[in-house]
Structure 1
Amino acid sequence: MTEGQYLTGQFLIAMPAMDDPNFDRTVTYVCEHNDDGALGIVINRPIGMALGEIFAQLDLQAEDDALVVQPVLEGGPVQPERGFVIHDDGQTEFGATLEVPDGLCVTTSRDILAAMAAGKGPPRAIVALGYAGWGAGQLEAEMAANSWLTVPADPAIIFSVPFERRWEAAAELIGIDITALSSEAGHG
């Protein structure tokens, strides 16, 4: 693949026929994609845990009550104990940060959670546990099998659209009413 064919900074929108329960009706933000594979974070699956629970596990006291109740997401089936923070590209440097070309970052180090709890974190951030991973050529094969739609990621969907609307909202970016698509493959 050439650089322009990689899906870094894109949304993967699960097609209605997706038969993998890990990705049914999901929107995945692709953080990294190259010849070795891809890594993405599902952005529309709250897991019934609030950020305050993670702060408590790390002995962090949150300054902002809104952060304490912020939902944590299921980022994907791989390493569900590992935390990922998708956030605005800010002025603060964190230990383990991947800068995605669209102006967002993904940080996995504890220091971002400490900064967030202290009220010094990035202006917008979501926290997910786990990630979606694809080996070399695997995502390309899934794309060829029409498992996913792709569209450049929109930070407004990541940070502002309600979780239950993100799948439809991401598809609307490319003019598709995904709820109107059949889950049956059209083979004539």
Structure 2
Amino acid sequence: MATDPTLSPGHDGFLSGQILIAMPGIGDPRFERAVVLVCAHDENHAMGLAVNRPVEGLTLPDLLTRLDIPAAEEAPSELVLMGGPVERERGFVLHTDDYSASEASVPVAPGVTLTATRDVLAAMASHQGAPRRSMMALGYAGWGAGQLEDELRNNVWLTCEPDEELIFGADHEHKWSRALAKLGIDPQFLTAQAGRA
């Protein structure tokens, strides 16, 4: 029996480190045209961060100032992203793997690490030992056991390999179409009808 390629891009059959691209007509405005990096996926759950959903008017220096991080105004004036609808008061930093906070940093994809501690925020503000590229997200997208697999079978998401611009680039408006282009798909030819061929 052939394996389903949409469910097994990784050697273990899970999607950690892959990009999810929302199909048109996803039926959930929180994920319309979303590009989500899957940070963890196993038989019990999946967790990811949307990398193209800026929080209106909230920059990294603004957020770091609210959190009383020293030298917050020195941080890059990047937009803070809405990582997903779950625990939106919780922050996550995706960054290049040239920064690590020992056990607090978790590899996500080749060259990309996730850290959710104040240490990485202080490093980003001070520029001392800061990662080369990073993005701050509030909240995350979460799936229970088998839920993401079901959504993939129902053509809710497409998957592609990540790259630094998709994850860290500032052109959030075009990340969805860029992700589709990696698969050779022109967004204007996608239908909002889900189903199987």
Identity of aligned residues (%): 44
Q: TM-score, normalised by structure 2?
A: 0.87
| Residues 94 and 107, structure 1, Cα contact 8 Å, conserved in 2 | no
- Cα distance in 2 for partners of 1:166, 1:85 equals 18
Change (3 A) 1:114 1:19: same
Q: Secondary structure at the match of 2:110?
A: coil
- 1:5 is aligned to 13
Deviation track 1:117-158 (CA, whole Å, cap 9, x = no partner) reads 111210100000000000110000000110000011112211
Change (3 A) 1:99 1:186: closer
- Cα distance in 1 for partners of 2:22, 2:111 equals 24
| Residues 43 and 158, structure 1, Cα contact 8 Å, conserved in 2 | yes
Q: 1:168 aligns with which of 159, 166, 177?
A: 177
> Is the counterpart of residue 151 in structure 1 residue 178 in structure 2?
no
- 2:35 is aligned to 27
- 2:53 is aligned to 45
> Is the counterpart of residue 119 in structure 1 residue 127 in structure 2?
yes
- 1:110 is aligned to 118
Give the letter for the 1:173 counterpart: K
Aligned-pair CA distance for 1:103: 1.9
Aligned-pair CA distance for 1:91: 4.4
Q: TM-score, normalised by structure 1?
A: 0.91
Cα RMSD of the aligned pairs, angstroms, is 2.0
| Residues 76 and 129, structure 1, Cα contact 8 Å, conserved in 2 | yes
> Is the counterpart of residue 73 in structure 1 residue 94 in structure 2?
no
Q: Secondary structure at the match of 1:47?
A: strand
Give the letter for the 2:55 counterpart: I
> Is the counterpart of residue 64 in structure 1 residue 58 in structure 2?
no
Q: How many pairs align?
A: 186
After TM superposition, where is structure 1 displaced by more than 2 Å over at least 4 residues in a row?
A: 1-4, 62-65, 91-95, 184-188
- Cα distance in 2 for partners of 1:165, 1:155 equals 14
**What are the residue-to-residue correspondences of 1:80-99 with 2, within 5 Å?**
80-93=88-101, 96-99=104-107
